Amino acid sequence: MHSPRSHHHRCVLGALALVALAAWPAAQAQSLHRCSDNGKAYYSDKPCPANGATRITAYGPPPTRDAYSGSSSTRLQKAPDHLSFMSPECASLSEAIRTARTRGVGYDTQQDLRDEFRRKCGEEEREARRQLHETEKQRRIEARDQRVAQQQERVQATMTLEQCREMGRIVAERKKRFDSMTPGERGDFERFQTNFGERCRGL
């Protein structure tokens, strides 16, 4: 038979456990905040500031270090590249959805977030994806044009080097018979030599 004191001790422990369990979901719900600032909504791990902003609601706890390092069972997906083309409100909502599972957010709340994103940001996301596609396309075109230009420069440099070598050979041969040249031939040679010096300087 248990003593009254041990029975009382178990009751106290049980009550403390119930209090802790009751407080745990509330602690979860106070870590990701959906705020409003000048009529624009955004999501933040920190409480909404008091100067003109109000906390509308909150979703789940902040992600742990393990969630970001990928060591937990739920690996955090990489943020989409088109996020930079979206408004701060839609970008923060997208981040809230992306990190929801690692924050321990329930399925129903995740679905609410996705529904809100589709309603508010569906068209914006399509436009952001289009802008990203156009940007990447332009980058590929610029990279290709740069490769072509560099290749043409290399070809031109090779041709110029070969031409200068040939001109240098001609100058050396004509110098050997300079004394036997007519005045007209000497004039042609001097002009050719000047052209060679100007064109092939430094090669």
pLDDT in tens, 106-151: 999 999 999 999 999 999 999 999 999 999 999 999 999 999 999 9
pLDDT the model gives residue 44:
66
Read off the pLDDT of each residue in 73-89 and give the average, rounded to a whole number.
86
3-state SS string over 26-40? HHHCCCCEEEEECCE
pLDDT the model gives residue 74:
59
pLDDT the model gives residue 7:
42
- Helices 107-176, 183-199: axis angle to 10 degrees equals 160
pLDDT the model gives residue 201:
86
pLDDT the model gives residue 97:
93
